[in-house]
Amino acid sequence: MLGNQFALSSSCLNYPPRFVNATLPIETRLLRNATPIDTDLNQDFSINELLSAINDTKNTTPGPDNICYEMFKHMSIKSLEVMLQLFNKIWFTGKIPPSWLHSIVVPVPKPNKPAQLPSSYRPISLTSNVCKLFEKMIVCRLSWFLEYRNVHHI
């Protein structure tokens, strides 16, 4: 019952119409108006991008792999360079490690709601912090790209 409830509340059918109507034209315009600067978007990630993403983390509960952000903060630069090689390989091949596609979903009760109703819970997904670190790097780069291309928020 909780799974069905969470699937309903997480569906893309819940996106506001304004978001849905604005997203496709932006994607189409970006693809149609590609320029040489767009190649910067696809370059190798740098060690500075990785360090910036690590510095932007807070201690959160780890996902199924039990890797905490704090572990990255204590890694040697050599170890971080190996991690960066992994991220760049994933970036260019598009092959995401299968373990990154899994999460542990924990139902958290909403305050002052009846415990017997599935709608009284919200899902918290514990995912791989390694994956989330890579996602932070991608979001930062995409944000720069959209700002450079003067694409405004919806």
- From 87, 85, 75, select the one nearest 130 (Cα to Cα): 87
Rounded CA separation 54/100 (Å): 18
In a domain, 14, yes or no: yes
Cα-based angle 98, 89, 36 (whole degrees, multiple of 5): 125
Q: How many domains does the chain have?
A: 1
Residues in the chain: 154
pLDDT digits 0-9 by tens, 92-148:
898 999 999 888 989 999 999 999 998 899 888 899 999 999 999 999 988 887 787
The residues, any chain, with a CB within 8 Å of residue 21's CB and separated by 6 or more, are none
In a domain, 66, yes or no: yes
In a domain, 140, yes or no: yes
pLDDT digits 0-9 by tens, 12-51:
677 777 776 666 555 555 555 555 556 677 889 999 999 9
Radius of gyration, CA atoms only, the chain: 19
Residue 37 has a pLDDT of: 53
Q: What is the pTM of this model?
A: 0.74
In a domain, 123, yes or no: yes
In a domain, 78, yes or no: yes
In a domain, 154, yes or no: no
Residue 136 has a pLDDT of: 95
In a domain, 38, yes or no: yes
Which structural domain, as residue segments, surrounds residue 47? 2-148
Could you give the percent of the chain with pLDDT greater than 70?
Answer: 79
In a domain, 153, yes or no: no
Residue 139 has a pLDDT of: 92
